Amino acid sequence: MRTVITGLTRSKAGRKRWSRSRRSRLTTVGISILAVMVLLAFIGPLMVHNDPLTVNMSERLLAPSWQYPIGTDHLGRCLFSRLAAGAQTTLGIAALALAAVMIIGIPIGLLEGYKRGRADAVLMRMVDAIGAFPDFIMAIAFTGFLGPSLTNLMLSIILVNWIGYARVVRSIVLSEREKEYVLAARAAGCSSWTIIRRHLLPNIISPVIVLAALDIGKIILIIASLSYVGLGGQPPSPEWGAMLNDGRPYFQSNPSLMIYPGLAIMLVVISCNLISEGVRDRLDVKSI
């Protein structure tokens, strides 16, 4: 009987090690894909010296060549140059929006979770009201109200996404603020700022990192989707979602106009999801 139990334990441990090894390999694949896309954004314009905005109707819809590595679009613009410029736009806006969301959401969650009171109740009711709608719907509503542009799209994403960070941070702070080490620090005369900085802030770092890794792919999808429907990047901006919309009328005659930007979006989102799973396993965060 003991032999059977030992064998089952070893089998479970082996499966767990294999699962972790597989996830580690997938995380490496995700990091590699994202690194290639970032390199495309920075090195692409140096490799191919074509202006992504210059229209040349005499060279429209050309096949791949040395001058145009993946061909030209319906206005004679270099597709490779536009993809590289689009990587800078899409990834840059996503990174800026995520940074702003964390800068807004984390302090609000820390303060409201520790202080509580009437302000916390009012703020959380407002957060619940906004959070009752899907992020994509709220982003469309805010962008439609502010007007179609990449700047307004980024502001809309910030207005929608800070809620998730404030909720996660607040819930962690609410569970930590009554524990013995926080009560001991309070009894020792530590200020609220010291308790938040030294004791509460380290406990939220891991969940916030995992949430950020999960969110970056979703933000990129929102940017591309709203640009596709005309609420984000405006012509002639080389944004991936706008490039999809530009190539839609030519899908049957020249599908590469939609395939390349669609493939870029898909690869970046998949890589972000793979990285987020690896970060979740490494930091051992199971609640997000």
DSSP secondary structure letter of residue 75: T
What span, in angstroms and rounded, lies between the C-alpha atoms of 102 and 97? 9
Low pLDDT (below 70) residues in the chain? 1-23, 117, 119-120, 131, 283-288
Per-residue pLDDT at 203? 80
Q: What is the pLDDT of residue 19?
A: 53
Domains and CATH numbers, the chain: 26-50+66-283 (1.10.3720.10)
Residues 6+ apart with CB under 8 A from 77: 50, 51, 52, 53, 54, 55, 56, 236
Is there a cis peptide before residue 261, judged by omega within 30 degrees of 0?
Answer: no
Instruction: Note the pLDDT of residue 96.
Output: 92
Phi, psi torsion values for 69, nearest 5 degrees: -55, -35
**By 3-state DSSP, what share of the chain in percent is helix, strand and coil, each rounded to 5?**
75, 0, 20
Predicted model pTM: 0.81
Tell me the two tokens of residue 15: 């499966």
**pLDDT for position 100:** 92
Distance CA 256, CA 250 (A): 9
CA distance 60 to 1: 75
Q: Alpha-carbon distance 200 to 205, whole Å?
A: 9
Two structure tokens written together for 211 = 């949430």
How far apart are the C-alpha atoms of 79 and 238, rounded to whole Å? 9
Residue 237, H or E segment? none
pLDDT of residue 122: 74
pLDDT at 9: 47
Taking the CA atoms of 185, 190, 196 and 197 in sequence, report the sign of the dihedral they define.
negative
